Structure 1
Amino acid sequence: MSAPTYPHARTALVLIDPLNDFLAEDGKLSGQIGPMLEKTDLRAQLIRLAEAARQAGVTVFYAPHGLHEGVFEDVRHVLPRFRSAVDNQVFWEGTYGADFYPALHPQEGDVVVSRHHMFDSFAGTDLQDQLAARGIEYVVLAGLTSQTCVEGTGRHALEAGYHVTFLTDAVAEFTEEAHRAALEISYPTYGHEVTTIDEFLAAVEASPAP
């Protein structure tokens, strides 16, 4: 099967959780994920991806995590890692940690989606409405983390009928094992395309001449 061409007007780059608690050196999760951020050069990769996507006419969507007091009060069985996140106020709405990493702050024309609370950026947010309002058919995923929110959002996008692309050099995880499992097992299972930043950008349909 030949690689697809991405119509720029119908393609969305969804950046998941480019937040200070992950990416800033003083973020609450920096000590845990920092080695993998360095190994994948994720900060620089996401910056160049977002800039190039905008230049190509692809709409950049931001899908941030967010927690607050009582966020899981209606959830009977909260996953321990989310209990820990609440106890430590990770991605706590209104704080530095939940703000966007400065070099990846949304720009004019970008779309900021309402905050997800667990792994799926569609669940309880306006992502579906925002994509549908712009006639998006192709969803390209990048950000954090490889095996959790990126994978979870991709699974939902597939079930919702979108063409799903995972970018292997635009994601990172806490461990090498989890990262490799996402890239080698999950992404080929749930994605129409598993590719690199450069291969994706090269496949974006050229904007019509002015």
Structure 2
Amino acid sequence: MMSLYDSRITSLLCIDFYNDFLSVGGKLWPWVKVIAEEVNLLVNTIVTTAREAEIKVYHVPHHRWEPGDYVDWKYPSAYQLGAAERPAFAKDTWGGTFHNDFPVRPGDIVVTEHWASSGFPNTDLEHQLKRYGKEKIICIGLLANTRLEATARIGMELGFHVSLARNGTAARSHEALHAMLDIDGPTFAREFLTAVELVSGIRLSVTNEQSAA
């Protein structure tokens, strides 16, 4: 049976909703364009439905590159070095700004920026979730097999109920998307739904809450 999404304990994690990832002209949009169009990426529908249900929205952003980043790191990853070369999500640029469809609204939480893949280590995400009594996290965003997976997996390790939407993410290749959706994801996600199923679950939860009021 599908879980319900009581707005008092549920949060929506929007991971790396930057122009560089989601906008035509973004530096990383060519990475995900084909897969995003194939899976019919429905993050806008999910965010809108969550807001209508008064589910708190958390923006989980990657570090915005600045000159000098990573140059004195002893063990930077290939992804981090690549981001510095582009540079992706550069601070004070259009690419490092949240997509126009996903602005920060009053009541939203903007988590401190993460430097690697997961939104949890070295940020205030866990604190901000527990501060508001959130036990369930719905994770959407990019990339499927890197930041989304790392954030969701650690969320499970920390004791959160994790939900993923099959068309709430995309990747650079079919193989990468398959690895997360069909191999890795089921090992840490409590709910693995299509966007339509997720939206239905959220709306049903609202109906139940209203009936109980």
TM-score above 0.5, yes or no:
yes
Query: Which consecutive aligned stretches of 4+ in structure 1 deviate over 3 angstroms post-superposition?
Result: 69-75, 207-210
Cα distance in structure 2, aligned partners of 1:167 and 1:195: 5
Indicate the larger mover: 160-169 or 59-68: 59-68
2:29 is aligned to 30
How far is 1:109 from its partner?
2.2
How far is 1:180 from its partner?
1.0
In structure 2, runs of 5+ residues without a counterpart are none
1:120-139 superposed Cα distances (whole Å, 9 cap, x missing partner): 01122111111111100001
Cα distance in structure 1, aligned partners of 2:103 and 2:136: 23
Task: Give SS of 1:9's match.
Answer: coil
Indicate the larger mover: 188-197 or 103-112: 103-112
Task: Give SS of 2:140's match.
Answer: strand
Task: Give SS of 2:101's match.
Answer: helix
Matched AA of 1:180: H
1:79 is aligned to 77
How far is 1:117 from its partner?
1.5
1:208 is aligned to 210
Give the one of 143, 154, 157 matched to 1:145. Answer: 143
Distance change >3 Å, CA 202–CA 41, structure 1 → 2? closer
1:108-119 counterparts in 2 under 5 A? 108-119=106-117
In structure 1, runs of 5+ residues without a counterpart are none
1:82-97 counterparts in 2 under 5 A? 82-97=80-95
Task: Give SS of 1:136's match.
Answer: coil
Indicate the larger mover: 169-178 or 64-73: 64-73
Cα distance in structure 2, aligned partners of 1:33 and 1:202: 26
Cα distance in structure 2, aligned partners of 1:32 and 1:171: 13
2:5 is aligned to 6
1:57-77 superposed Cα distances (whole Å, 9 cap, x missing partner): 211111111233344366421
2:96 is aligned to 98
Cα distance in structure 1, aligned partners of 2:14 and 2:177: 17
* Alpha-carbon contact 2:20-2:96 (below 8 Å) kept: yes
Q: Aligned-residue CA RMSD in angstroms?
A: 1.7
* Alpha-carbon contact 2:19-2:95 (below 8 Å) kept: yes
2:67 is aligned to 69
Give the one of 35, 50, 55 matched to 1:53. Answer: 50
Cα distance in structure 2, aligned partners of 1:146 and 1:168: 10
2:153 is aligned to 155
Matched AA of 1:25: V
| 1:165 partnered with 2:167 | no
* Alpha-carbon contact 1:65-1:98 (below 8 Å) kept: no
1:125-183 superposed Cα distances (whole Å, 9 cap, x missing partner): 11111111110000110010110000000111011110111111110001111001110
Cα distance in structure 2, aligned partners of 1:26 and 1:78: 27
1:23-73 superposed Cα distances (whole Å, 9 cap, x missing partner): 11111112222212222232xx11111111111121111111123334436
Cα distance in structure 2, aligned partners of 1:164 and 1:74: 36
Matched AA of 2:192: V
